[in-house]
Amino acid sequence: MVMANFILKSFKGGFSDYEDKGVEGAFKSGKNLNIRKKADTLSCNQALLDLTPPAQGFNTLADWWVPSSDGNYYAFSRNGRIYKFTPDLTCTLVYTDTDGAILGAWEWGVSSGKKYLFWATATKLHRKEIPGEIDWSDIDADAGWPKTNLTSSLSHMMRGIGGGIGALVICNDETLALVGYDDSYTNEILRFTPGNYAKVLLQRDKNVVIGTVAKNQLVQSALFLWDGMDTEEAFGWDDSKPIPLQDIAAIIDTEVSLLVDGKGQVFNADFLNGLPIFTFPDNGKVNPGGVTSEEYLALFGVWGNGAEKSGIYSYGRKFKNASIVPNLEYQFDCDEIGGVIKVGDHLLISYKSGANYGVKDIDQNNKAEAVYETIDLWQPAKTGFQKTVKWNSIVLTTAPLPADCSISVKYKLNKNGEFKVSNLRDGETAFDTEGAQEAVFFVGDLGKVEELQVTLTPSGNDTPEIYRIEPYFEY
């Protein structure tokens, strides 16, 4: 018998589209892995924690987060509730809109120097001066407010667009509504292809990109680009691209322009490329307000794709020479994720789990348990009578293991059945010797293909760190 081994020493490739191949450092699946640091090693990401709710509790999802010039963060919910989070994340319920679900929100300033929080219900556009009255008695205090002629639609997403447009733009069914810097208002500054309603939008350079969704199967979803000019022409947009999708769920620009469809497929949103870049595991869903950015990473609140697969996914890179890849940064089970926003050290996530609602943030004091699954490791080509190899052991090379941290390994052969526990020489299942830097787990079974599942268990803010994984086999 001859002993040979694979050497896994790169982990920066994110989860792969394929089970048996990928870019350098790709893996089949993983959760809570920190793969975007400057050392190409396996370690745990930060955990998430639940924020303390207001006295009234959270009783629905908040779909829209607005960071405000008054230093607070405002969350706008599906039952009309508006929550204020102070810089230390103390939450209070500041207002309940009796018109019901809030379908879009943003802060925008006008030429008078005043700044307002704007939000839209089905047919109304409201605003409140910031900071204004502390008891919120100044809602719609100016003459002519609220505006009551929005078209009832599934989305009134809004964004303040600088540059040539210089206005707050609002999705309004088959049109775009607008509040100008001069405090003017119209419910139809731009009209789209009939049969498409505006669902998502963002600023790109000095322009606005609008994603529209087909109301029926007779037309396609589409992207539109508008520079704020040709306002006297109903169809004055500058570029458009039909998208062969039933839905555009969310859109975001980071280093790469991205959109997500209703099946969890992620595409370029650059008006050029058409093929999907990757798909979230088991076709997770994303809500329009469930995307945000962290430096050059796009972050997505993904849900509806099964246990241990929902949570916050990223796509992109933090360093020039890193690969642009996806990763499940923060995993937690839930039924739905509403709005997501990254502000400073905080990542605020509105979610629903069963009959419970809540808001999560990054726990700066604790790491999360992380799991890494290798791509398929196929035996080399063989000659002679022996059809399979004997998988002997798995050697881990690590940083000195911190106190109370541990690493465990499971394996699966021939893509069959559940993962089996791999033991250490002394029969223990976890490598937990403080200060140790090498562990040998044993397999001793025959198979043509091996898959490994490695679990890293942290302690507080300390994490195990793996430099190399070496599966050995005999042939």
Write down the mean pLDDT value for the chain: 94
State the CB neighbour count (10 A cutoff) for residue 364. 11
| CATH 2.60.120.260, domain 3-45+371-474, yes or no | yes
Average pLDDT value for residue range 138-153: 97
Range picked from 28-32, 161-165, 195-199 for highest mean pLDDT: 28-32
CA–CA distance, 135 with 138 (Å, rounded to integer): 8
* Cis before 471 (ω within 30): no
Judged against a pLDDT cut of 70, whether residue 234 lies above it is answered with no
Cβ atoms of 26 and 375 within 8 Å: the answer is: yes
What is the C-alpha separation between 36 and 206, in angstroms, rounded? 31
Give the model's pLDDT for residue 220: 82
Per-residue pLDDT for 62 more than 60?
yes
Residue 243 pLDDT level (bands cut at 50, 70, 90): confident
Mean pLDDT of 288-292: 98
CATH code of 47-365, in short, is 2.130.10.10
Task: Give mean pLDDT, residues 37-65.
Answer: 97
Give pLDDT tens digits for 447-471. 999 999 999 999 999 999 999 999 9
Residue 244: how many CB atoms within 10 A of its CB?
8
pLDDT of the residue at 197? 94
Q: Average pLDDT, stretch 404-420? A: 96
Q: Smallest Cα–Cα separation from 102: which of 72, 123, 130? A: 123
Cα-based distances in Å from 291 to 113, 127, 260, 358: 30, 24, 10, 17
In the predicted structure, residue 237 carries a pLDDT above the cut 90: no
Instruction: Please tell me the predicted confidence (pLDDT) of residue 272.
Output: 84
Domain ranges, ordered by start, for the chain: 3-45+371-474, 47-365
Q: Note the pLDDT of residue 311.
A: 98
pLDDT of residue 2: 74
Res 382: pLDDT: 60
- Reported confidence tier of residue 339, pLDDT bands at 50, 70, 90: very high
Domains 3-45+371-474 and 47-365 share a fold: no
